[in-house]
């Protein structure tokens, strides 16, 4: 990857360092191959979403990266260490938010976080102080009013906030998030998204997110990985993957109460010409490409059918109305 010219003096800024590096990862359970040569990276300060249908190998991949499962073959490095041989100092640099925790019910919220935080001071560095201040962390995840409660007294959404706090109390350099906002209300989900963005932007935390909430992945992730049949079948930003699925954008607009829609590979040029012709008469303008959900389904369908990425089934017409746009423009 070429350096990015980003410094004020014009000198190039080197690309971010990969904190997760996976090459040709393979996993076999008995005679069953689960991972068939998976390769990807995650850089410091990057949020990457790993998507895939049930049984695709997401959980196995995460367990290998976290050091909880030994791989069958391939290269895996997390923070420069083979996870299969990571020590306690290495583990202190990771944060893990599992789908759910079922223990610690009798502990108080502040009590539990303080207990966990007490393990981290030996692993603090000048660049990465550890642990976080517990009361600040409780406020960050929105549990200040519940800090004195026992864990078993928390609602499902509040418990999920605590899971997040447990995952980041040690100021991780790499954070694994498994369905992190399950049970969150919209406000809590938005607050969590802000926490994730802040971790990536201000602390250079590399974040690997697994979720079935494609809207969340599209909103949070810098890059999307789609895993199917034990292989990465797509790797790119949401916009890049959308363009692979559908070159054309769908432009919908109205003039004088009449609704029109047109597919075009040059949406910006098309919209400029539209305003050149109709000016302020243009209303209800919308430009859209395939959503991440549509993109994801197209890639998975292509894998399952053994075909090239198939977009024939995609209908990008949000209004469901197709006016005679070409004829109207030609008048």
CATH number at residue 20: 3.40.50.300
Please give the distance of CA 119 from its chain centroid, rounded to a whole number.
29
User: Where a domain ends, among 185, 207, 236?
Assistant: 236
Query: pLDDT > 70: what percent of the chain?
Result: 87
Contact yes or no for 257/278 (Cβ under 8 A): no
pLDDT computed for residue 310 by the predictor:
47
User: Where a domain ends, among 214, 236, 258?
Assistant: 236
Report angle CA 151, 152, 153 to the nearest 5 degrees.
90
Q: List, for residues 63-88, the tens digit of each pLDDT value.
A: 999 999 999 999 999 999 999 999 99
pTM for the structure as a whole? 0.80
Q: Are residues 223 and 249 in the same domain?
A: no
The sign one gets for the Cα dihedral 56, 62, 68, 70 is positive
Contact yes or no for 208/21 (Cβ under 8 A): no
pLDDT computed for residue 16 by the predictor:
66
Full domain range(s) for residue 264: 245-330
Q: List, for residues 136-182, the tens digit of each pLDDT value.
A: 999 988 899 999 999 999 988 888 889 999 999 999 999 999 888 87
Q: Are residues 164 and 300 in the same domain?
A: no
Residue 11 covered by a domain: no
């Amino acid at each position: 990857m070429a350096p990015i010219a980003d410094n004020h003096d014009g000198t190039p800024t080197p690309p971010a360092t990969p904190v997760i590096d996976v090459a040709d990862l393979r996993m076999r359970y008995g005679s069953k191959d689960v991972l068939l040569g998976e390769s990807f990276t995650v850089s410091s300060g990057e949020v990457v979403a790993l998507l895939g249908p049930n049984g695709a190998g997401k959980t196995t991949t995460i367990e290998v990266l976290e050091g909880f499962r030994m791989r069958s073959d391939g290269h895996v490095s997390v923070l420069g260490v083979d996870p299969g041989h990571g020590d306690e100092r290495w583990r202190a640099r990771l944060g893990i938010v599992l789908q759910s925790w079922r223990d610690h019910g009798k502990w108080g919220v502040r009590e539990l976080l303080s207990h966990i935080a007490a393990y981290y001071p030996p692993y603090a560095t000048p660049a990465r102080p550890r642990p976080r201040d517990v009361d600040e962390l409780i406020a960050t995840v929105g549990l200040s009013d519940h800090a004195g409660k026992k864990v078993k007294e928390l609602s499902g959404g509040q418990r999920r906030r605590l899971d997040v706090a447990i995952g980041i109390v040690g100021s991780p350099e790499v954070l694994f998030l498994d369905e992190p906002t399950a049970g969150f209300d919209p406000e809590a989900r938005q607050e969590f998204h802000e926490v994730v963005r802040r971790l990536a932007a201000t602390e250079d935390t590399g974040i690997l997110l697994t979720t079935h909430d494609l809207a969340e992945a599209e909103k949070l992730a810098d890059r999307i990985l789609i895993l199917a049949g034990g292989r990465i079948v797509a790797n790119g930003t949401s916009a890049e993957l959308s363009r692979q699925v559908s070159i054309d954008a769908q432009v919908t607009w109205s003039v004088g109460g009449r609704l029109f829609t047109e597919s075009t590979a040059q949406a910006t040029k098309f919209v400029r010409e539209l305003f050149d012709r109709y000016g302020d008469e243009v209303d209800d303008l919308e430009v859209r490409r395939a959503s991440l959900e549509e993109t994801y389904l197209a890639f998975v369908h292509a894998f399952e059918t053994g075909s090239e990425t198939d977009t024939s089934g995609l209908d990008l017409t949000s209004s469901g109305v197709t006016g005679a746009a070409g004829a109207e423009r030609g008048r």
